A = this chain, B = another copy of it.
Amino acid sequence: MNLPSVAPGQPLTSDLGEAMEFIRNVPIFSEIEASELAKIVRVGVRKKYKKGSIILLEEETGAALFVIISGKVKIVRTDDDGREVILSILGENDFFGEMSILDGLARSASVVAITKTELFMIHRRDFLKLLQDVPAVAVSLLKELTMRLRKADAQIKSLSLKDAAGRVANVILQLADDIGTIRKGRVEIDELPLQQDLANMAGTSRETISRVVHMFIKKNHLELQGNKLIINDYEKFKSLYT
Protein backbone atom coordinates (compact mmCIF):
# COMPACT_ATOMS: atom_id res chain seq x y z
CA MET A 1 0.00 0.00 0.00
CA ASN A 2 1.44 3.38 -0.99
CA LEU A 3 1.46 6.48 1.11
CA PRO A 4 -1.07 9.17 0.29
CA SER A 5 -0.06 11.06 -2.78
CA VAL A 6 0.74 14.56 -1.67
CA ALA A 7 -1.26 16.45 -4.23
CA PRO A 8 -1.14 20.01 -2.92
CA GLY A 9 -4.84 20.50 -3.59
CA GLN A 10 -5.42 23.33 -5.97
CA PRO A 11 -8.33 25.64 -5.28
CA LEU A 12 -10.98 25.35 -7.92
CA THR A 13 -11.14 29.05 -8.58
CA SER A 14 -9.28 28.50 -11.79
CA ASP A 15 -12.26 26.80 -13.33
CA LEU A 16 -15.39 27.69 -11.45
CA GLY A 17 -17.76 26.94 -14.24
CA GLU A 18 -16.63 23.38 -14.70
CA ALA A 19 -16.68 22.74 -10.97
CA MET A 20 -20.20 24.13 -10.71
CA GLU A 21 -21.30 21.85 -13.48
CA PHE A 22 -19.85 18.86 -11.68
CA ILE A 23 -21.17 19.65 -8.24
CA ARG A 24 -24.65 20.33 -9.54
CA ASN A 25 -24.85 16.74 -10.73
CA VAL A 26 -24.00 15.28 -7.36
CA PRO A 27 -27.29 14.00 -5.96
CA ILE A 28 -26.98 15.36 -2.44
CA PHE A 29 -26.25 18.83 -3.76
CA SER A 30 -28.84 18.81 -6.50
CA GLU A 31 -31.37 20.82 -4.51
CA ILE A 32 -29.09 23.70 -3.76
CA GLU A 33 -29.53 27.13 -5.30
CA ALA A 34 -26.81 28.35 -7.60
CA SER A 35 -25.68 31.06 -5.20
CA GLU A 36 -25.19 28.61 -2.34
CA LEU A 37 -23.47 26.20 -4.66
CA ALA A 38 -21.00 28.82 -5.76
CA LYS A 39 -19.96 29.40 -2.16
CA ILE A 40 -19.31 25.75 -1.68
CA VAL A 41 -17.37 25.42 -4.86
CA ARG A 42 -15.19 28.35 -3.88
CA VAL A 43 -14.14 26.83 -0.54
CA GLY A 44 -13.79 23.29 -1.86
CA VAL A 45 -10.49 21.79 -2.86
CA ARG A 46 -9.64 19.33 -5.58
CA LYS A 47 -7.31 16.44 -4.79
CA LYS A 48 -5.80 13.66 -6.83
CA TYR A 49 -4.71 10.19 -5.74
CA LYS A 50 -3.10 7.39 -7.61
CA LYS A 51 -4.29 3.84 -7.57
CA GLY A 52 -3.61 2.14 -4.27
CA SER A 53 -2.99 5.25 -2.22
CA ILE A 54 -4.62 5.69 1.14
CA ILE A 55 -7.00 8.63 1.13
CA LEU A 56 -8.14 8.41 4.74
CA LEU A 57 -6.85 6.31 7.56
CA GLU A 58 -8.91 4.58 10.24
CA GLU A 59 -8.71 6.23 13.68
CA GLU A 60 -7.89 9.63 12.26
CA THR A 61 -10.09 12.47 13.44
CA GLY A 62 -9.79 15.43 11.07
CA ALA A 63 -13.11 15.56 9.31
CA ALA A 64 -14.08 16.61 5.84
CA LEU A 65 -16.56 15.53 3.23
CA PHE A 66 -15.22 14.09 -0.02
CA VAL A 67 -17.09 13.79 -3.28
CA ILE A 68 -15.65 11.56 -5.97
CA ILE A 69 -15.07 13.46 -9.20
CA SER A 70 -13.63 10.43 -10.98
CA GLY A 71 -12.28 7.02 -10.07
CA LYS A 72 -13.25 4.41 -7.51
CA VAL A 73 -12.48 3.95 -3.84
CA LYS A 74 -13.06 1.21 -1.31
CA ILE A 75 -14.20 1.76 2.26
CA VAL A 76 -12.25 -0.67 4.38
CA ARG A 77 -12.07 -1.86 7.96
CA THR A 78 -8.95 -3.66 9.06
CA ASP A 79 -8.22 -6.36 11.57
CA ASP A 80 -5.34 -6.43 14.01
CA ASP A 81 -3.96 -9.21 11.84
CA GLY A 82 -4.20 -7.00 8.79
CA ARG A 83 -7.17 -8.78 7.27
CA GLU A 84 -9.67 -6.39 5.78
CA VAL A 85 -13.39 -6.12 5.13
CA ILE A 86 -14.61 -3.98 2.29
CA LEU A 87 -17.74 -2.22 3.46
CA SER A 88 -18.44 -0.65 0.12
CA ILE A 89 -17.04 0.48 -3.17
CA LEU A 90 -17.88 4.02 -4.22
CA GLY A 91 -17.61 5.69 -7.62
CA GLU A 92 -18.27 8.96 -9.37
CA ASN A 93 -20.68 11.33 -7.55
CA ASP A 94 -20.63 9.25 -4.42
CA PHE A 95 -19.39 10.85 -1.23
CA PHE A 96 -17.77 9.77 2.01
CA GLY A 97 -16.49 11.25 5.24
CA GLU A 98 -19.89 12.42 6.44
CA MET A 99 -20.00 10.15 9.47
CA SER A 100 -17.11 11.72 11.33
CA ILE A 101 -18.50 15.13 10.52
CA LEU A 102 -21.90 14.29 11.89
CA ASP A 103 -20.97 12.61 15.13
CA GLY A 104 -17.48 13.93 15.68
CA LEU A 105 -16.07 10.48 16.36
CA ALA A 106 -12.90 9.12 14.84
CA ARG A 107 -13.20 7.36 11.52
CA SER A 108 -14.11 3.72 11.84
CA ALA A 109 -12.83 2.85 8.39
CA SER A 110 -10.08 3.69 5.94
CA VAL A 111 -10.59 4.81 2.36
CA VAL A 112 -8.28 3.53 -0.37
CA ALA A 113 -8.18 4.47 -4.04
CA ILE A 114 -8.66 1.39 -6.21
CA THR A 115 -8.17 3.36 -9.39
CA LYS A 116 -6.66 6.74 -10.10
CA THR A 117 -9.06 9.02 -8.28
CA GLU A 118 -9.94 12.67 -8.15
CA LEU A 119 -11.85 14.08 -5.21
CA PHE A 120 -13.57 17.27 -4.23
CA MET A 121 -13.06 18.07 -0.55
CA ILE A 122 -15.28 20.25 1.60
CA HIS A 123 -14.19 21.13 5.10
CA ARG A 124 -16.27 20.12 8.08
CA ARG A 125 -17.27 23.64 9.02
CA ASP A 126 -18.41 24.49 5.51
CA PHE A 127 -20.44 21.34 5.24
CA LEU A 128 -22.08 21.85 8.62
CA LYS A 129 -22.97 25.38 7.64
CA LEU A 130 -24.53 24.05 4.47
CA LEU A 131 -26.59 21.60 6.51
CA GLN A 132 -27.84 24.46 8.67
CA ASP A 133 -28.61 26.79 5.79
CA VAL A 134 -30.13 24.39 3.30
CA PRO A 135 -32.58 21.94 4.84
CA ALA A 136 -32.91 20.08 1.56
CA VAL A 137 -29.31 18.95 1.91
CA ALA A 138 -30.12 17.41 5.27
CA VAL A 139 -33.03 15.56 3.73
CA SER A 140 -30.92 14.28 0.83
CA LEU A 141 -28.32 13.15 3.28
CA LEU A 142 -30.93 11.37 5.37
CA LYS A 143 -32.10 9.53 2.28
CA GLU A 144 -28.58 8.53 1.36
CA LEU A 145 -27.79 7.29 4.86
CA THR A 146 -31.04 5.36 4.85
CA MET A 147 -30.03 3.68 1.63
CA ARG A 148 -26.67 2.81 3.07
CA LEU A 149 -28.32 1.34 6.14
CA ARG A 150 -30.55 -0.79 3.97
CA LYS A 151 -27.51 -2.06 2.12
CA ALA A 152 -25.67 -2.74 5.34
CA ASP A 153 -28.65 -4.65 6.70
CA ALA A 154 -28.85 -6.72 3.54
CA GLN A 155 -25.16 -7.45 3.91
CA ILE A 156 -25.63 -8.57 7.51
CA LYS A 157 -28.45 -10.84 6.46
CA SER A 158 -26.34 -12.34 3.71
CA LEU A 159 -23.35 -12.89 5.96
CA SER A 160 -25.51 -14.42 8.66
CA LEU A 161 -27.70 -16.75 6.68
CA LYS A 162 -25.97 -17.71 3.48
CA ASP A 163 -23.21 -20.12 2.69
CA ALA A 164 -20.11 -19.07 0.81
CA ALA A 165 -21.69 -19.52 -2.62
CA GLY A 166 -24.68 -17.40 -1.68
CA ARG A 167 -22.49 -14.65 -0.27
CA VAL A 168 -20.34 -14.55 -3.38
CA ALA A 169 -23.43 -14.41 -5.59
CA ASN A 170 -24.62 -11.54 -3.46
CA VAL A 171 -21.42 -9.62 -3.91
CA ILE A 172 -21.54 -10.15 -7.66
CA LEU A 173 -25.14 -8.96 -7.83
CA GLN A 174 -24.27 -5.96 -5.70
CA LEU A 175 -21.43 -5.09 -8.05
CA ALA A 176 -23.77 -5.53 -10.99
CA ASP A 177 -26.18 -3.01 -9.47
CA ASP A 178 -23.42 -0.57 -8.57
CA ILE A 179 -21.12 -0.63 -11.56
CA GLY A 180 -22.63 -3.07 -14.05
CA THR A 181 -23.71 -2.23 -17.59
CA ILE A 182 -26.33 -3.94 -19.72
CA ARG A 183 -25.26 -5.24 -23.13
CA LYS A 184 -27.29 -7.55 -25.29
CA GLY A 185 -29.60 -8.33 -22.42
CA ARG A 186 -26.79 -9.49 -20.18
CA VAL A 187 -25.19 -7.64 -17.29
CA GLU A 188 -21.48 -7.02 -17.59
CA ILE A 189 -19.09 -6.00 -14.87
CA ASP A 190 -15.98 -4.43 -16.35
CA GLU A 191 -13.00 -4.21 -14.09
CA LEU A 192 -14.01 -6.99 -11.76
CA PRO A 193 -12.16 -6.39 -8.49
CA LEU A 194 -9.32 -8.67 -7.48
CA GLN A 195 -10.32 -12.00 -6.00
CA GLN A 196 -8.83 -10.91 -2.71
CA ASP A 197 -11.10 -7.88 -2.72
CA LEU A 198 -14.10 -9.99 -3.62
CA ALA A 199 -13.19 -12.27 -0.72
CA ASN A 200 -13.02 -9.26 1.58
CA MET A 201 -16.48 -8.25 0.47
CA ALA A 202 -18.03 -11.68 0.81
CA GLY A 203 -16.42 -12.54 4.12
CA THR A 204 -14.66 -15.57 2.77
CA SER A 205 -11.24 -16.63 1.53
CA ARG A 206 -9.75 -15.91 -1.86
CA GLU A 207 -9.65 -19.63 -2.61
CA THR A 208 -13.35 -19.90 -2.07
CA ILE A 209 -13.94 -17.04 -4.49
CA SER A 210 -12.00 -18.90 -7.12
CA ARG A 211 -13.85 -22.14 -6.46
CA VAL A 212 -17.30 -20.60 -6.37
CA VAL A 213 -16.87 -18.38 -9.42
CA HIS A 214 -15.78 -21.37 -11.47
CA MET A 215 -18.68 -23.36 -10.15
CA PHE A 216 -20.98 -20.57 -11.40
CA ILE A 217 -19.20 -20.58 -14.76
CA LYS A 218 -19.63 -24.34 -15.07
CA LYS A 219 -23.33 -23.90 -14.37
CA ASN A 220 -23.48 -21.28 -17.12
CA HIS A 221 -24.55 -18.52 -14.78
CA LEU A 222 -21.42 -16.50 -15.38
CA GLU A 223 -18.84 -15.93 -18.09
CA LEU A 224 -15.39 -14.50 -17.63
CA GLN A 225 -13.72 -12.55 -20.44
CA GLY A 226 -10.41 -11.30 -19.23
CA ASN A 227 -11.24 -8.92 -16.44
CA LYS A 228 -14.87 -8.66 -17.43
CA LEU A 229 -17.51 -10.72 -15.71
CA ILE A 230 -20.78 -11.39 -17.49
CA ILE A 231 -23.98 -12.50 -15.81
CA ASN A 232 -25.87 -14.52 -18.40
CA ASP A 233 -29.30 -14.30 -16.85
CA TYR A 234 -29.37 -11.68 -14.16
CA GLU A 235 -32.89 -12.44 -12.99
CA LYS A 236 -32.40 -16.17 -12.91
CA PHE A 237 -29.09 -15.85 -11.11
CA LYS A 238 -30.66 -13.52 -8.60
CA SER A 239 -33.63 -15.75 -7.96
CA LEU A 240 -31.41 -18.78 -7.48
CA TYR A 241 -29.05 -17.25 -4.97
CA THR A 242 -30.89 -14.48 -3.17
Instruction: Say if the beta carbon of A135 comes within 8 Å of chain B.
Output: yes
Instruction: Say if the beta carbon of A141 comes within 8 Å of chain B.
Output: yes
A83–B159 Cα distance when bound, in Å, is: 13
A106–B138 Cα distance when bound, in Å, is: 22
Copies in the complex: 2
For A138, give its contact among B99, B139, B153, B160 (CB under 8 Å). B139
Instruction: Say if the beta carbon of A53 comes within 8 Å of chain B.
Output: no
The size of the chain A interface, using a CB distance under 8 A, is 37
Q: What are 12 residue pairs bridging A and B, where the CB atoms are less than 8 Å apart in the complex?
A: A77-B156, A85-B160, A87-B153, A87-B157, A98-B146, A102-B142, A102-B146, A103-B150, A108-B154, A131-B142, A152-B155, A159-B159
> B-contacting residues of A (Cβ < 8 Å)?
77, 79, 83, 85, 87, 98-99, 102-103, 105, 108-109, 131-132, 135, 138-139, 141-143, 145-150, 152-157, 159-161, 200, 203
